[in-house]
Structure 1
Amino acid sequence: MKKRRGASTLTFLTAVLFAFSLMVLGSTAAADKPGDLQVKGQVKAVSNKAKTLSVTVKDKGVMLFKFNDNTQFINFTKTKEIKYPTAVVVRYKTQGPDNVALSIKKALISLPKGVREIKTEEVAALVEKGSEAGNYFLVDARPATVASAGHIPTAVSIPVNVLGKKGAELLPEDRKKSLIFYCGGPT
């Protein structure tokens, strides 16, 4: 359960980079084969009956994709697993007026070496103990307006944009204290 502050800072930086990648890399880019296109965005809706997926893509708005038996699902098996607000990468071709998905992949981040994911049950047990007895510092990295509407007890609101600028000043100096971050992102 004990993490070094450096590793926790690395976790935070990874989360920040992932969030920025969703914003910056959301536009259309070249894909594997000539003629293939690729976008990264957030699932808005899935219709299994119509076999369509709508994805919100930065600077493009909502894009609609058709999927079929030839569409490759990477790192998931059923479309039930990619509901709102899952981040996805869609490789597609245009056929007439339609965007036909060639592959759909969940956009997941990898945790750096020495950093691990903490399960909800573990956080609940720590919160029950309190931050001093549990030896942790819990950060709500959501925007302040969202965090003010409700948050996990003992959590300190430090929005991700503030963490990027002043994180070192705002996080505890005790390197034996576990740093735990949560947000409302798609990860």
Structure 2
Amino acid sequence: MTTIQSRRKLIVIVLLCIAVAGALLRHFAAQGSMLRDIGTLLMLLWLPIVGNIIGWLIGRLRRPPAPEPPTFGGPETFAPHVWVELTLRSTSVPSEDVPAAIGEHRCALVVGNDGFTARWFVRPGETVRRGQPHAVQIEFLAPALAMPRFQRDAAFRMLVGGAFIADGKVRELTGQPQPVGPT
């Protein structure tokens, strides 16, 4: 239980005790006396808590779970949308200057101020080294949104985590890879 939750619980208990004390005071006080009016006021202190209790009960009701965000399928469902020329940026630490690991890589491809979730693969036997251009197939999570921005020769940056790790240029839209070299 958080500090705020424990404080709210304590306030509810205190106000409930005050309301019960007001009810007892009202019950035993003479009709029309000042003590009876004070008891009534003490009982009214409980009213704001009723809204909190109703809110708590509504929060406890089972709500339908939020829909799962869209995600990529497994590696067998990979359907590339574009061929790109990708150049991984060099690292400032020589020990981190290693080829990209074999397997799936998820990223955001950024064109201007727009980012699009994508993935690409390094297949067994392939070597994707930093500082060298490579032909890579890219699949977008939302191709209908991304494809208008990723036309032939469109430049982009690759964002992983909070850092831009690569630069690229679109070479082909779902076609055969083009020879990669300095442009």
TM-score in terms of structure 2 length: 0.22
TM-score in terms of structure 1 length: 0.22
The higher-RCO structure (CA 8 Å, 6+ apart) is: 1
Based on CA coordinates, which of the two structures has the bigger radius of gyration? 2
Between structures 1 and 2, the one with greater helix share: 2
